[in-house]
């Protein structure tokens, strides 16, 4: 099973170039929906910023999703250099958003490219690069009496992404691709009334 390179956690970098302030945020993501949510969260966090440039690379189900956006900066000057950093470092399942507050001095195309690139690199370095096995998402619906047992089974092969408690418990997990069949079989054997859906 081939490993993928991604980032360990959230990363932050704050840089200044010719009085313009650049705030770089890097996030690990499981899918494109999550990436878009982080972009929107940053836009809301810095509503008065001049630009919120972003790029992401996401792999899953054998597909590679790639996108970048200049958000009003000159075409190719910002989103593309950020994306090139992801490519150069061979990172997947990562979104980088760089917020710019214009300081009154134009940086020019080359200056912009360098500023966005350097900020992206620092945000990624702050997050830390890790290698991990590709994962798939699974939703498990279980009753309260068995939730601790299910969590025990998940400890070594899955990461809990979301939990929802009502009359039953719904948990969404990311499972190592090479462990998903084994985990599903084990849960079905031990707790037959558990509902499992691969997402």
Contact present, 187 and 134 (Cβ < 8 Å): no
Contact present, 53 and 98 (Cβ < 8 Å): yes
pLDDT at 113: 96
pLDDT at 1: 46
pLDDT at 134: 75
CATH number given to 4-132: 3.30.230.30
What's the CA gap between 101 and 48, in Å, rounded?
8
CATH number of the domain at 135-198, out of 2.40.70.10, 3.30.70.240, 3.40.228.10, 3.50.50.60?
Answer: 3.30.70.240
With H, G, I as helix, E, B as strand and everything else as coil, classify residue 124.
helix
pLDDT at 55: 97
pLDDT at 176: 79
Cβ-proximal residues to 66 (8 Å cutoff; 6+ apart), any chain: 56, 57, 58, 83
pLDDT at 60: 65
What are the residue ranges spanned by the domains of the chain?
Answer: 4-132, 135-198
pLDDT at 140: 92
Q: Which residues of the chain have pLDDT under 50?
A: 1
What's the CA gap between 131 and 116, in Å, rounded?
25
Count the residues in the chain. 199
pLDDT at 85: 97
What's the CA gap between 185 and 53, in Å, rounded?
44
């Amino acid at each position: 099973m081939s490993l993928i390179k991604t980032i360990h956690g959230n990363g932050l970098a704050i840089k200044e170039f010719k009085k313009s302030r650049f705030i770089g945020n890097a996030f690990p993501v499981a899918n494109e929906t999550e990436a878009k949510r982080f972009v929107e969260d940053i836009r809301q966090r810095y509503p008065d910023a001049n630009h919120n440039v972003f790029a992401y690379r996401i792999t899953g189900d054998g597909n590679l999703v790639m996108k970048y956006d200049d958000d009003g900066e000159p075409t190719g000057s910002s989103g593309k250099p950020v994306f090139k950093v992801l490519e150069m470092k061979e990172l997947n399942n990562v979104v980088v958003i760089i917020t710019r507050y214009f300081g009154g001095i134009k940086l020019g195309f080359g200056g912009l490219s360098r500023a966005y690139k350097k900020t992206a690199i620092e945000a990624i370095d702050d997050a830390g690069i890790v290698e991990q096995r590709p994962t798939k998402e699974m939703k498990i619906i279980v009753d309260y009496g068995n939730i601790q047992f299910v969590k025990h089974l998940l400890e070594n092969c899955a990461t809990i992404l979301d939990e929802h408690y009502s009359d039953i418990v719904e948990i969404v997990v990311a499972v190592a691709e090479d462990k998903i069949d084994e985990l599903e079989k084990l849960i079905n054997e031990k707790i037959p009334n558990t509902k499992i859906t691969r997402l």
